[in-house]
Chains A and B, each alone.
Chain A
Amino acid sequence: MASIKVESPGKRKRGLALDQLRTVGLVLAIVLSGLVFQSQRSAFFSSENVLTLLRSMSSLGIMAFAQMLVILLGEIDLSVGAIYGLSATTLAVLWLGGGALPFHVPFIFALMAALLVAVAIGAANAFLTSVVKIPSFIATLGFLSLAQGSELLLSNASTFNPAYNTPLPSRGELRFFHILGGSQLPLGIPIQVGWLAAMLCLFLFLRHRTLFGFRLVAIGGNPTAAEIARLPIRKYKFVVFILSALMAALAGILDFSYVGSVGPNSGGSLVFPVIAAVVIGGASLNGGWGTIPGTLLGATLLAVLANGLALLGVGAFAQLLFVGFVTIGAVTLDRVTRQLANRRSSRVTK
């Protein structure tokens, strides 16, 4: 039998304070690490470097926003890194020819096919999770491997570079391709920063201003109650997993456009930072808690560290160590604060 659990009326304020504390803490961490880097390399806060930093975090941010919705539902999507690579490769192989395919198609069709592949994987993830009821950890882990394998088979593990391809694509197509992710907006702002801002707005509204976001919070917070209240749980899972896959594809294609080439196994290392950004941003892997601004801050912190450490000349391998430490540290700190705040529970468990 459930015991009567009554909590003090101060809880709301404490909850809010905790939320704000986390935000303030994240901003502080970002500013502090920025200042440390600045003191070592004066170029850190230059407008040029800030734009570079923002551009470099655009893929991470776009994928993390969608991942946050998945995690808000109490699920997880591990296949995003593989979808990132598979979409870019699908675009390249279909558009440029080569790889395992004997033909090629106009850019626009290749682009649509690349996005469709992502939608299909997202839908399959949702189907396995919500209909077959496989834990999303397993279902998306399976698709991580499936997508990676398909990518390698499709491309014959070769690298594609549109500008030096034979036959050379038409100039219009090349131009359009370049504009997607490699061009600049006015004031020298990389277009990827524009994409990041656009997706930030989209997800900010989706999560915080729509019925969709409202019900996501409910479904993730208490799936049983959501079922009793007859919320469209299955439909929402499909939408969220498809969004996550689509954002991974978008990020993959934008980076392909920016870099100008795509090689085998690109994006494979993105899963960890994406999930780390969401978790550092305060989302709970149990579902029901998580905000887009938090996720943005989480992604920013990771990007600042990567950028600053690169400026200091710390190698990529050592950077991995830092990212690991920061992720564990941030979540530990969060947990400890929460436990301190909840310590006044009268219930003694042995």
Chain B
Amino acid sequence: MTVVEVRGAHKRFKNTRALDGVDLTLKSGEILGIAGPNGAGKSTLTRVLSGEEILDSGEIRIDGEILSLDRISELVAVVHQEPQVWLNLTVAQNLMVGNENSKLTPPSISAEQLEVLNRIGISNIASVLLADCSLAVRQRVEIARALVRDARVILLDEPNSALTDDESQALFLFMHELAAAGHVVALVTHRLAELVKHCSRVVVIRDGRVAVELTGAQLTESAIAGELVAGEQGKAISRKSASDSLIRRKTLISTSRWSDAQGSFSNISLEVTQAEIVAIVGVEGSGGREMVSALGGMRSYSGEITIADLEDKGDNHTQIAYLSANRTEMLFHNMTVGDNLVLRLKDPIIANRFGWLRKGNIHSQATELVNKYSIRTDGVEQMLTSLSGGNQQKVAIAAAMASNPSLLLVEEPTRGVDVGSKREIYQMLREYADRGRAVIVFCTEAPEAFELADRVIVIQRGACRDTLRPSDFPDIFSFASALAKLELIDVAEHYSNKSAVLSPPLSSNERDNLA
């Protein structure tokens, strides 16, 4: 019997309170679900629990004892979306790393390690190179490594976001086995249906605290969905629909028979008009995110995309500007705020036609953007890294808007951003759309889609499942539960008529290697 107790956990990163007094108990034998909107502190909690991060105050006791970081990271294992394993080694060798038990001779697999492989159901592929194995096998190897070092606590952080249905089902079955064997198991996920199906207890983390604990009959999807957005209630979500000033709205972009080259989505017809904000919503792996990055030119596709010409192009006009979800992928940390803002601009503005920089223009242009979008900085000459996360996000969006694209694509516009900046970013995007341009955002959170979009397209398994208009819903709760229901149908289909598969399905390579 193992018990993990978290008491009064506080953790802050400079200006952000990531954990603000978390109290939580994890017991062996049960699967604890952890849910929460982005930026609520789930990731920080996982890192703190696994000894990757030190608490500012508060304590973590495992079986009543406060342990050193090293000891914690031995006892607690995290199964990541991207398993931390060695692709250049075989399955068996992966278990041996760090547990070699030999100094002069090449390590060989020990009896315990072999037993773990057996238990996990991958001993038949022990000599297969991990690079040739599927993601599901890699995840199992990561779990196996944890079991070899006798970890008592297993945290699964969005473990099945990139797995196929069969693979995730097998993973969840194994998760139940671990719990039954007396391990402490916790599951962090966005998929509400899975929380309800697999967890006996679910905590919702909001603003760095445990907002609510749901068990038994209370544990339903709509209850979780309601709790996830409850924090938004007091903030008086005021939806603004698209401005009516444009009487005749032109279709700006349309696609036909539009399919991803790698099969993430197929045969999509999408139309977006001027002054419209469209939110694409879908769980990881649904193809929604891939659609946005394909529109942004970052993935190859087949089919047709038509972009209409704008009459009022504005300066520096480009057709499409794209912003990825990862802030570090969009910004230049070795440059100043001003340089980041003007970087997408071209000839007449920041340089003359001989390529000579016009430093005065850069300065005034950047200052104008800083004022226009109220980016909080001591001046455009500051390094980008001096800004808060929210302001960096605003810089990225402002830089894209400065090139006046007909279509602005933003993946998760407010990921990792504080509430105040969120509001400002929504306003920025709405004002931009009101200038007669189209905005497409990819959202993972119901409140964001509700507040921001005129139209919400739900993507499932590479196809449009449904379209919701937030204005048809009286409040965020009804909207969120409508979204959750759409997902529920999907997950219900996942689990119907499928027999339990204990060991993960082999990839073709694994089969080849066995033969």
Contacts and interface: CB of A to CB of B under 8 A. Distances in A.
Given A9-B386, A212-B355, A225-B329, A4 B339 contact: no
Contacts of B69: 348, 350
A133 interface: no
A103 interface: no
A199 to B, nearest CB: 18
B18 A3 contact: yes
A214 B357 contact: yes
A221 B382 contact: no
B244 interface: no
Nearest to B16: A4
A12 B416 contact: no
Nearest to B330: A225
Contact of B38 (A1, A212, A231, A347): A1
A346 B355 contact: no
A11 B356 contact: no
A315 B382 CA distance: 48
Contacts of B417: 4
Interface string B349-385: 0110001110000000000000000000010011101
B317 interface: no
A214 B416 CA distance: 29
A211 B353 CA distance: 10
B386 A11 contact: yes
A211 B357 contact: yes
Nearest to B383: A12
A15 B383 contact: yes
Interface stretch (B51-59, B84-92, B109-117, B193-201): B51-59
Interface in A270-326: 288-289
B334 interface: yes
A4 to B, nearest CB: 5
Interface string A206-248: 0001111111011011101101111100000000000000000
A350 B51 contact: yes
Given A3-B13, A214-B339, A222 B331 contact: yes
Nearest to B296: A228
B322 interface: yes
Interface in B151-190: none
Contacts of A4: 13, 16, 18, 39, 389, 416-418
Contacts of B351: 210-211, 214
B416 A1 contact: yes
A6 B378 contact: no
Interface string B322-352: 1110111111111100010001100000110
A2 interface: yes
Interface in A242-277: none
B406 interface: no
B406 to A, nearest CB: 15
A61 to B, nearest CB: 24
B43 A222 contact: no
Contact of A222 (B332, B382, B399): B332
B311 interface: no
Contact of A7 (B297, B331, B385): B385
B496 interface: no
Contacts of B326: 2
A166 interface: no
A349 B339 contact: no
A348 B48 CA distance: 11
B13 A347 contact: yes
A343 interface: no
A8 interface: yes
A3 B52 contact: no
Interface in B50-95: 51-54, 69-70, 73
A337 B389 CA distance: 26
Contacts of B328: 2, 222
B44 interface: yes
Nearest to B416: A4
A222 B356 contact: no
Contacts of B332: 217-218, 221-222, 225, 288
A5 interface: yes
Give the residue among A8, A211, A215, A230 with the most B Cβ atoms within 10 A. A211
Nearest to B399: A229
Give the residue among A1, A5, A231, A348 with the most B Cβ atoms within 10 A. A1
Given A228-B322, A347-B13, A348-B53, A210 B334 contact: no
B70 A350 contact: yes
A225 B389 contact: no
B15 interface: yes
Interface in B295-310: 296-298
Contacts of B399: 229
B330 A228 contact: yes
Contacts of B103: none
Interface in A1-49: 1-12, 15
A3 B53 CA distance: 12
Contacts of A209: 356-357
Given A4-B389, A4-B416, A6-B13, 14 more contacts: A2-B327, A5-B13, A6-B16, A7-B14, A12-B378, A12-B386, A212-B355, A214-B350, A218-B339, A225-B331, A229-B399, A346-B13, A348-B54, A348-B69
8 contacts: A1-B42, A4-B39, A4-B416, A5-B13, A6-B16, A215-B343, A218-B343, A347-B53
Ranked nearest first, the 7 interchain pairs of A and B with the lowest CB-CB distance are A221-B334, A211-B351, A288-B334, A6-B14, A1-B43, A348-B54, A11-B386
